[in-house]
A and B are shown apart, each in its own frame.
Chain A
């Protein structure tokens, strides 16, 4: 398993595919120098694997310790097809590494003329200076430099030198993750450096802490008493929550099973939940586009969860169960899974649930269709910035939605596309609601 990096370098596509299918494997993990799988595949020219990784949601702009992105590596090693693919998937074309070099610097330096041209055609700045105050043009052969200058000029680029600016303090770079994260399933509570109490929720006590140098949150489940049976069920259920192979799923990293304490450990997300971002005061500007991106992220995450067989039960979609990562990716938080023995018979967010899910047992209904209803409510939230049924208590909401036909009221002024989507996702007949794989293309449009 340690050798997945080698397999990627060798181009063993078969092996990589099998590895990626294992939910416990994190495709965004990095090696000792924080090279991700995508870095290696791009460097070694493993086109098929690059394609596979992108398809599975690898982070395009992840950086290694030298702040190189996969695009830097593909450019220096002259893999034109890969450069094309990365650009197509919105790789940051002017990303700078620790030397202040952009991918174009490398393409020019290593004389990959065609790649350099492609880059400029796609908006790479020819006048960007690195730390040594050299632009890509300074690196290129005079003949190539001339062609590139002309091309840039014709595209309307300002050819005045752009001085190097150290932006690393902004902290917008996303390093590949520590590969160790996904290797530990059960850990000792002593190993967690719990630093501060964050919150007391209905489901448990939430603490912030450090584990192997990573910021984590630890949720100590709220139980009246922890029986041997609870502990056993916990042990059986939590491994399914360690889903590292999808970027829109926030996995449970590990658990401590030490009765009376059952602890669920997840990565710390500084922006908190989508609920928090939308209705709290985080200072994040969420414009129309960002909303749509959140919606697509959530739909992708749900689509992935719906491919699992059997479905992970008691995983209810609400904006409280979606976390926002530092790069503003929305990720469904597996830490909000409801353990079978935990909070039995209590639903704290009925406003997001389909009427049939409020009435019948999960095994009696189509849970995937019920999730689609919940997605519609989140979509409504994204569009209106309103908490659904904000003025009612959960018991009132549940009774009224389940028995009295209460539904959200969609305010005027909402875009007609979204309105139509809301209507089909919230079809009263669960059988007529679409699947997530069907609505993702609609959202992307």
Chain B
């Protein structure tokens, strides 16, 4: 039975995760690896993701395995709790989801980060993302003059 087959993933810090093949297939990156090489009992390295983040991603993949007994409502409540985390954790998760290519997880986290940023000032955003302000004082004043209502 294809559903009971196991796959072993190895995180960047060397931890092994033995999971159902069906769970791993939600990652398109892993899906391609499995289709290409079809490794039997081989270990698939995931060099861009550490153990803590990978376990969280796999938690998501297990929950989102198509389960006909779980209705949509259950997912949205679970998803909401899943992304109720610090911004650095969300950042690690999105980098992992991007690398493993799991579009619904990318959507979920981007929605969450966007909702956290919605009301922030440009100063606060620069602080969070470690971005240098490369605009001159005059240019910045010009923005505020042109669309001042957005800064209120």
The yes or no verdict on A and B being binding partners is no
